Amino acid sequence: MNNCELSVQEFVDVLDTLWPRELAEDWDAVGLVLGRPSASVEKVMLVVDITLDTVNEAVAEGVDVIVSHHPLLFRPVNSLVEDEVKGHLVAALVRAGIAVFSAHTNADAVDRGTSESVGGALGLQGMTPITPSVTSDAGIGRVGTLPSPVRLYDLATQLGRLVPQTAGGVKVSGDPDQMVSRVALCTGAGDSLLDHPEVLASDVYITGDLRHHPASDVQQARQLGRGPCLIDVSHFASEWFFLDGVRHTLQQDLPDLDIRVSDIVTDPWDFVVHPG
């Protein structure tokens, strides 16, 4: 395909094939949210979050379309005043003629989606969704088995090396020397699945954004001999990982496009302190 002939709408059609919209949760806001469908596309940037930094980067690089994992306009917006964040972002994007497409829970659900990408990199075998979609084999989260049992510490270290470095690092609840084999994981924020039978039957559950009480409940249950160890990784970092696979897939389908993954860390935490 000649990139000069590729329109935003034609690019959207390709993205809709990659991440069918019917796989998105009812509450989600996915698809093209900004831009002129007839505009041409030559340069694409993949990001987890649309922030001041990633928009500035896209403007500086002359990007035509940003593909984001998190929706730009997730909740209803009543104002686009430019001294507020959403107004600032939308105005900057419109002025620069940058279209925005978001693939969120539909990108979580598909094969080679956010969770399956991380699971594959960890070597999980026989992966199935924790919560299958009603209409297909896809679904939220993945559960699978490591080729051979490893120490919990080593699995957390392997995960930490896969994903971008963030201030919070990788937190673990469990005995570092415990051998683990059955792994459940849900990229992003996965505490809603903590009670799922597939998670409870696993040796370890990898997710992000775990709060005190849900994590504490799992820790306490584990002490009674029931429930998994926990690995809590940065929400951003866990979802950034799959973008390189997306770039690879899109580049194969659309070789004339200039597609890159932003390496700006959009995790909101800048540093942690461990006072001595």
Least separation, in Å, of the C-beta of 145 and Zn ion? 25
Least separation, in Å, of the C-beta of 18 and Zn ion? 18
Q: Annotated binding site, which residues?
A: 69-70, 108, 235, 239
Query: Where in 219-258 is the site for Zn ion (CB under 5 A)?
Result: 239
Between 70 and 196, whose beta carbon lies closer to Zn ion? 70
Where would I find the beta strands (DSSP E) of the chain? 31-34, 43-47, 65-68, 99-102, 125-128, 131-132, 139-140, 142-151, 170-173, 179-189, 204-208, 229-233, 258-261
Between 11 and 241, whose beta carbon lies closer to Zn ion? 241
Least separation, in Å, of the C-beta of 192 and Zn ion? 13
Residue number of the CB closest to Zn ion reads 188
Q: Annotated binding site for a divalent metal cation, which residues?
A: 69-70, 108, 235, 239
**Interacting stretch for Zn ion, rule CB under 5 A, among 14-22, 160-168, 182-190, 223-231?**
182-190
Least separation, in Å, of the C-beta of 173 and Zn ion? 21
Q: By CB neighbour count within 10 A (0-12 exposed, 13-18 middle, 19+ buried), where does 199 fall? A: buried
Number of residues that bind Zn ion (CB under 5 A): 2
Least separation, in Å, of the C-beta of 211 and Zn ion? 15
The rounded distance, in Å, linking the Cα atoms of 1 and 4 is: 9
Q: Is 188 in the site for Zn ion (CB under 5 A)?
A: yes
Between 202 and 238, whose beta carbon lies closer to Zn ion? 238
Between 11 and 236, whose beta carbon lies closer to Zn ion? 236
Between 11 and 242, whose beta carbon lies closer to Zn ion? 242
The rounded distance, in Å, linking the Cα atoms of 72 and 61 is: 20
Residue type, 128: T
The rounded distance, in Å, linking the Cα atoms of 33 and 107 is: 16
Least separation, in Å, of the C-beta of 188 and Zn ion? 3
Residue 93 in contact with residue 34, Cβ under 8 Å?
yes
Between 105 and 202, whose beta carbon lies closer to Zn ion? 105
Q: Is 71 in the site for Zn ion (CB under 5 A)?
A: no
Binding residues vs Zn ion (CB under 5 A): 188, 239
